Amino acid sequence: MTQPTGELFDLGYQHYDGPREGRMRARKAVFVDGFKTTLGLGRGSGAKVLPFLLFGAAMAPAVIMAIIASVTNNLVDLPGHSIYYQIVSIVLLIFAAIIAPELLCPDRRNGVISLYLVRPLSITDYVAARWLAFFVITLLLVYSGQVVLLLSLVLSAADPMEYLQDNWLDIPRILAAGFLLAAFITTLPLAVSALTDRRAFAAAFVIGLFIISGAAGGFLTSCDEHDDSGRSGQCEPITGGAGKWLGLVDVSEVPNNVNTMIFNAEDEGDRARLIAELPRVVPIGLYLILTGGLAFILWWRYQRLTV
């Protein structure tokens, strides 16, 4: 006969002897958290609405364009990859203006940032991880639309292989332009979010900036009349010779200016045509200065953060 036995387990506090992964784990955690915040994961169903709506809005043009492409079958000038970026950039700018502040503003507003600052990661790690999370999502968004478009163009072509051979340069162009677009869309709203604690202000500021600079850019490059060849003809903008420079004022078009260059596309709009007259260096330089400058503001503001 064996004695019955019983055990009492120690549920008290235990010290932790497991692995400690230091800074790399911290960066990953902030990155993943940024990823989840952007997509509204793990934060209730309400938070998912906007991201998924915008995802749909970003994909829709690609899908529509794909359908048009397959139906019309080269009978019409195909809406190209460049146009897709132009269209989707508007959607994405709105998405970014509203959602990017979620990554930075609440942490400062509710004081959580002080808890990050006393952990084994630098403030630059924190900002970089948040930036990267948003950038990766934006990049995936723009690329997936392009993949859909490319696939449909290839598959609806008379000879898919020939189409690919003729147009293989599109692929590096898509990648480059997408990268530049995503970088701009990520950096601008995050930089603005670094400057105000309130998400609504940040979002309103960015959207307001796009609308106002867009309207200004359009106005400053508008024409009173076109010559007889109609819309595709040249015309003198109301601001005269300075018009082509003033057209650069439209902030929302900064990545598109470069995008058009990459694809060597013809943009029909007055403003775009005027800008095409400028030396190539100008729109590229503007993009680099603006994006770089905003990135610097973002970094610098967080370096100066005190709690």
Residue 5 CB, nearest approach to another protein (Å): 26
301 is an interface residue for another protein by CB under 8 A: no
Residue 196 CB, nearest approach to another protein (Å): 18
119 is an interface residue for another protein by CB under 8 A: yes
How far does Cα 104 stand from its chain's mean position?
Answer: 16
Tokens 């958290």, located at residue: 33
| Binding segment toward another protein, per CB under 8 A, in 115-123, 198-206, 254-262, 292-300 | 115-123
Q: Please, which of residues 42-101 interact with another protein by CB under 8 A? A: 42-44, 47
Residue 135 CB, nearest approach to another protein (Å): 20
299 is an interface residue for another protein by CB under 8 A: no
Tokens 């859909």, located at residue: 148
| Binding segment toward another protein, per CB under 8 A, in 7-15, 174-182, 208-216, 259-267 | 7-15
Going by C-alpha positions, the residue among 140, 128, 134 that lies closest to residue 175 is 140
| Binding segment toward another protein, per CB under 8 A, in 18-26, 155-163, 164-172, 244-252 | 18-26
Going by C-alpha positions, the residue among 183, 39, 185, 178 that lies closest to residue 103 is 39
- Using alpha carbons, list the distances in angstroms from residue 47 to 96, 99, 199: 14, 10, 14
Q: Which residues is 237 bridged to in the sheet?
A: 223
Residue 195 CB, nearest approach to another protein (Å): 19
Residue 32 CB, nearest approach to another protein (Å): 8
When binding is defined by CB under 8 A, the residue of 57, 68, 90, 116 that contacts another protein is: 116
Going by C-alpha positions, the residue among 204, 202, 184, 205 that lies closest to residue 193 is 202
Site string for another protein, 121-150 (x = CB under 8 A): xx----------------------------
200 is an interface residue for another protein by CB under 8 A: no
Residue numbers of the site for another protein (CB under 8 A)?
A: 12-16, 18-23, 25-26, 28-30, 33, 42-44, 47, 106-107, 110-112, 114-122, 306-307
